[in-house]
Amino acid sequence: MLSIKGLHVFYGGIHALRGIDLDVADGQIISLIGANGAGKSTTLKSIMGLVPKTEGTIIWNDTDITSTHTKEVVKQGIVLCPEGRRVFPDLTVEENLRIGAYLRNDKDGIQKDKDWVYDLFPRMKEREWQLAGTLSGGEQQMLAVGRALMSKPKLLMLDEPSLGLAPLVIKDIFTIIKEIKEAGVNVLLIEQNAKAALEISDYAYVMETGTITMSGAGKELLNDERVKKAYLGE
């Protein structure tokens, strides 16, 4: 459904992406692993139309969205849950969810999705009227994921959802990611926690300094000697 071909991006004077080819097929969790500065976040940002591209195409369900405005990209069903959660601290939990549905006007649908998010994260229901800034790091991450789901995405892109969280919370987050996939949302995941990511991924890409150096099924990469050495610390 999403297909990136030969994508080049210059970002802050750096040749950040040097010809990326990446595909997301329907009904899958795809993960993108690699070291800091490899260009993972830039890849997601360029899909969202937040960074200008110099070359290449991004096709989404047969539509070219290479130079589409962020707002339209969201409208077409792609959403990015950014690195560092970035919830709006002085909006309430409920408002954060509502702003996730900013482009939607179907009141009933929004309410239904809100209930679904509260189902996924019961803690959010408890804290509905609390300011998002008062939540703990893990709760903020859950809110950020919930907020992204409120746009009713067909493709949910998660940038480092486990960063800085306690191991137990990380486990929760990965369980939820699987649940989201079961609900019919495709997931494109960036993770430093390569092991956990590969375990739940149907397919994965390894990125190094702006290029994709390896790709394969999640299980396959888990057993690959080079991946083990470089990313799994084995």
- The binding site for another protein (CB under 8 A) comprises 48, 50, 70-71, 74-75, 79-80, 82, 84, 86, 88-91, 95, 98-100, 102-103, 133, 135, 137, 140, 147, 151, 164
Residue whose pair of structure tokens reads 């990015």 in the numeric block: 80
Backbone angles phi, psi at 137, to 5 degrees: -55, -45
Query: Minimal distance in Å, beta carbon 216 to another protein?
Result: 30
Query: Minimal distance in Å, beta carbon 81 to another protein?
Result: 8
Query: Minimal distance in Å, beta carbon 82 to another protein?
Result: 6
Question: Which of residues 31 and 140 has its CB atom nearest to another protein in the complex?
Answer: 140
E runs forming strands in 108-222: 155-159, 186-191, 203-208, 211-217
Backbone angles phi, psi at 60, to 5 degrees: -125, 115
Question: Which of residues 137 and 216 has its CB atom nearest to another protein in the complex?
Answer: 137
Whether the Cβ atoms of residue 161 and residue 141 lie closer than 8 Å to each other: yes
Q: What size, in residues, is the chain?
A: 234
Query: Minimal distance in Å, beta carbon 51 to another protein?
Result: 11
Question: Which of residues 22 and 132 has its CB atom nearest to another protein in the complex?
Answer: 132
| Distance separating alpha carbons of residues 108 and 129, to the nearest angstrom | 20
Query: Minimal distance in Å, beta carbon 73 to another protein?
Result: 8
Query: What are the residues facing 100 on neighbouring strands?
Result: none
Question: Which of residues 13 and 233 has its CB atom nearest to another protein in the complex?
Answer: 13
Residue whose pair of structure tokens reads 């699987």 in the numeric block: 178
Question: Which of residues 117 and 198 has its CB atom nearest to another protein in the complex?
Answer: 117
Query: Minimal distance in Å, beta carbon 125 to another protein?
Result: 20
Question: Which of residues 144 and 212 has its CB atom nearest to another protein in the complex?
Answer: 144
Whether the Cβ atoms of residue 104 and residue 152 lie closer than 8 Å to each other: yes
- CA dihedral sign of residues 71, 75, 81, 87: positive
How many CB atoms are located within 10 Å of the residue 177 CB? 25
Whether the Cβ atoms of residue 24 and residue 31 lie closer than 8 Å to each other: no
